[in-house]
């Protein structure tokens, strides 16, 4: 059995190291590595169901386990594997790595370091999605923070150091709380291994009080990365100050680590705690949905608008997880993939607007469509996808989320439904002011989308349409995960 997951990790590691030392050729090394990563992800996708059926595996496919640290009372393994949920997010990682490398093609400020940090961020995300050992998972989780800190702090805007430090402090403190919860889960459940499957077998031995404590610690650790209200204040600052490529990775991938971690390490291991904390999850989800929607209405900076709308969308993801139903978990994963693609597209358009016009102020721009038709079309597609237009990627995800909410908690579905109406309102308001009407705030000579930026955004537009029209391509993967409640075919 070819160790495809380890091979992918080695590919990304070698590509990252070569990129750091390649100088001006770094972009080409990063591009080749990204295509190879996407190719291996396609191999995983192609053979996923067949492998599962042939080997009779009910939880993870392509499993690899090697002894890492062996002690008389505990052993820690290098353990990796994927299921339908992690495979969907691996595909997202591969797509966004390729799109980010292409979009940043003309990066001239230390290109070796830039492209190396981009690849290192995606390497850490891939490791999080495949790790099945507590220590291995935590190492990859923390590894993601370091490159993003430097991406924001060195390539960011005027307040980049403040934003980078705030991002690092918030997320690192949350990681420590998360680690405490995981260690309590290991040592008090009677497990002799840090392995996920061993913990799944012994986590039920914990007293209900202990399960609730561990769940809350994990919820805080993963929730700050979502981010949940009131621990969301690092996100707008990080997005506004980050370069465009950093915003793409931050919104498209890093926010998804929180949702994935909550499903994999809290919901899947500690279902007994959910009835006792469900009210808290609902309250935080509703607060995030309402706050993200209302605050987005007041934003004049295009990047801040997209950033605050992310809080709204990730609040719906948390609500879907809190429902703890097959339909809810399906909606949560589908929403994470959809938001990853659409938010990345919108942040790219925001970056291109700034490059072309010198401003991201919505109130100072207008009439862009006749002067920059390709950019205006891309902004419209991203905005319509984010507000949930049918035939685009967010619609099936949001529809399933609303259906799951109605089945689970009845008329409370009006909260996310009204929030989606507000979302439509502020995106339509933004498009009306920026794209139509008399030209306003545009320089005499304004360029449309550069070729490399257009190629990157074209990849995301294609994914937005394809998965909007054919959502079963993702749904069939997600429902194959036992945590969703439907076994392999």
- SS3 of the chain: CCCHHHHHHHHHHHHHHHHHHCHHHHHHHHHHHHHHHHHHHHHHHHHHHHHHHHHCCCCCEEEEEEEEEECCCCEEEEEEEECHHHHHHHHHHHHHHHHHHHHCCCCCCCHHHHHHHHHHHHHHHHHHHHECEHHHHHHHHHHHHHHHHHHHHHHCCCCHHHHHHHHHHHHHHHHHHHHHHHHHHHHHCCCCECEHHHHHHHHHHCCHHHHHHHHHHHHHHHHCCCCCCCCCCHHHHHHHHCCHHHHHHHHHHHHHHHHHHHHHHHHCCCHHHHHHHHHHHHHHHHHHHHHHHHHHHCCCEHHHHHHHHHHHHHHHHHHHHHCCCHHHHHHHHHHHHHHHHHHHHHHHHHHHHHHHHCCCEHHHCECHHHHCHHHHHHHHHHHHHHCCCCCCCHHHHHHHHHHHHHHHHHHHHHHHHHHHHHHHHHHHHHHHHHHCCCCECCCCCCCCCCHHHHHHHHHHHHHHHHHHHCCHHHHHHHCCCHHHCCCCC
Of 132-141, 250-259, 474-483, the one with minimum mean pLDDT is 474-483
> Is 60 exceeded by the pLDDT of residue 54?
no
Rg over CA atoms, the chain: 22
Query: To the nearest whole percent, how much of the chain has pLDDT over 70?
Result: 97
Residue 127 corresponds to which tokens in the numbers above?
Answer: 């490791």
Residue 140 corresponds to which tokens in the numbers above?
Answer: 């990859």
CB count in 10 Å sphere of residue 137: 25
- Whether a cis peptide bond, with omega within 30° of 0, leads into 213 is no
How far apart CA 147 and CA 419 sit, in angstroms, is: 34
How far apart CA 226 and CA 219 sit, in angstroms, is: 10
- Give residue 487's pLDDT band: very low, low, confident or very high (50, 70, 90): very low
- Give residue 477's pLDDT band: very low, low, confident or very high (50, 70, 90): confident
How far apart CA 169 and CA 226 sit, in angstroms, is: 15
How far apart CA 80 and CA 82 sit, in angstroms, is: 7
Residues in CB range of 165: below 8 A, 6 or more apart? 153
At residue 377, φ and ψ (nearest 5 deg) are -65, -40
C-beta separation of 252 from 340 below 8 A: yes
C-alpha closest to that of 223 among 278, 274, 285, 163: 285
Residue 400 corresponds to which tokens in the numbers above?
Answer: 């399933």
Query: To the nearest whole percent, how much of the chain has pLDDT over 90?
Result: 72
Residue 446 corresponds to which tokens in the numbers above?
Answer: 């304004």
Break the chain into its structural domains and give their ranges.
4-484
Residue 388 corresponds to which tokens in the numbers above?
Answer: 């949930």
How far apart CA 291 and CA 465 sit, in angstroms, is: 29
C-alpha closest to that of 146 among 175, 120, 180: 120
C-alpha closest to that of 300 among 343, 240, 387: 240
What is the average per-residue pLDDT within 101-108? 93
- Whether a cis peptide bond, with omega within 30° of 0, leads into 190 is no
Pick the more confident residue, 49 or 98. Answer: 98
- Give residue 488's pLDDT band: very low, low, confident or very high (50, 70, 90): very low
Of 45-49, 138-142, 372-376, the one with minimum mean pLDDT is 45-49
Q: The pTM is what? A: 0.95
Highest mean pLDDT of the ranges 71-80, 89-98, 103-112, 201-210: 89-98
At residue 393, φ and ψ (nearest 5 deg) are -60, -35
How far apart CA 21 and CA 383 sit, in angstroms, is: 39
pLDDT of residue 57: 54
* Residue-wise pLDDT tens digits, 79-89: 999 998 999 99
* Residue-wise pLDDT tens digits, 156-189: 988 999 999 999 999 999 999 999 999 999 888 7
């Amino acid at each position: 059995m070819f160790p495809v997951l380890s091979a992918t990790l080695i590919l990304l590691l070698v590509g990252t190291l070569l990129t750091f030392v390649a100088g001006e050729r770094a972009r080409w090394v990063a591009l080749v590595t990204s295509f190879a990563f996407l190719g291996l992800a396609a191999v995983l996708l192609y053979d996923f169901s067949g492998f599962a059926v042939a080997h009779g595996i009910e939880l993870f496919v392509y499993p690899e386990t090697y002894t890492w640290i062996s002690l008389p009372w505990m052993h820690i393994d290098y353990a990796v594997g994927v299921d339908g949920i992690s495979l969907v997010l691996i595909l997202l990682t591969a797509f966004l790595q390729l799109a980010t490398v292409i979009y940043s093609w003309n990066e001239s400020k230390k290109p070796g370091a830039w492209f190396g940090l981009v690849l290192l961020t995606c390497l850490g995300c891939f490791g999080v999605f495949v790790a099945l050992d507590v220590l291995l998972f935590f190492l990859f989780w923390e590894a993601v923070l370091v490159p993003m800190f430097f991406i924001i702090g060195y390539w960011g805007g005027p307040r980049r150091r403040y934003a980078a430090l705030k991002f690092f402090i918030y997320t690192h403190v949350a990681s420590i709380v998360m680690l405490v919860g995981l260690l309590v889960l290991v040592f008090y459940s009677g497990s002799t291994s840090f392995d996920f499957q061993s913990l799944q077998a012994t986590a039920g031995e914990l007293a209900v009080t202990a399960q609730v404590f561990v769940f809350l610690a994990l919820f805080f650790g993963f929730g700050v990365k979502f981010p949940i209200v009131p621990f969301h204040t690092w996100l707008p600052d990080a997005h506004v100050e980050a370069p465009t490529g950093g915003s793409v990775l931050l919104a498209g991938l890093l926010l998804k680590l929180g949702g994935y971690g909550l499903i994999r390490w809290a919901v899947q291991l500690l279902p007994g705690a959910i009835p006792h904390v469900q009210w808290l999850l609902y309250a935080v989800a509703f607060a995030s949905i309402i706050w993200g929607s209302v605050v987005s209405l007041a934003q004049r900076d295009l990047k801040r608008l997209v950033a605050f709308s992310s809080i709204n969308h990730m609040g719906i993801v948390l609500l879907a997880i809190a429902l703890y139903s097959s339909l809810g978990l399906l909606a949560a994963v589908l929403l994470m993939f959809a938001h990853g693609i659409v938010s990345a597209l919108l942040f790219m358009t925001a970056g291109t607007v700034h490059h072309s016009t010198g401003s991201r102020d919505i109130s100072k721009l207008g009439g862009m469509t006749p002067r920059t038709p390709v950019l205006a079309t891309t902004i419209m597609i991203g905005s319509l996808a984010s507000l949930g237009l049918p035939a685009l990627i967010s619609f099936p995800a949001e529809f399933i989320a609303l259906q799951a909410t109605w089945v689970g908690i009845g008329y409370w579905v009006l909260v996310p439904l009204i929030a989606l109406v507000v979302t439509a309102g502020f995106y339509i308001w933004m498009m009306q002011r920026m794209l139509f009407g008399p030209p306003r705030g545009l320089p005499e000579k304004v360029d449309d989308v550069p070729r490399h930026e257009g190629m990157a955004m074209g990849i995301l537009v294609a994914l937005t349409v394809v998965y909007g029209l054919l959502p079963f391509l993702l749904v069939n993967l997600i429902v194959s995960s036992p945590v969703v409640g439907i076994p392999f075919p």
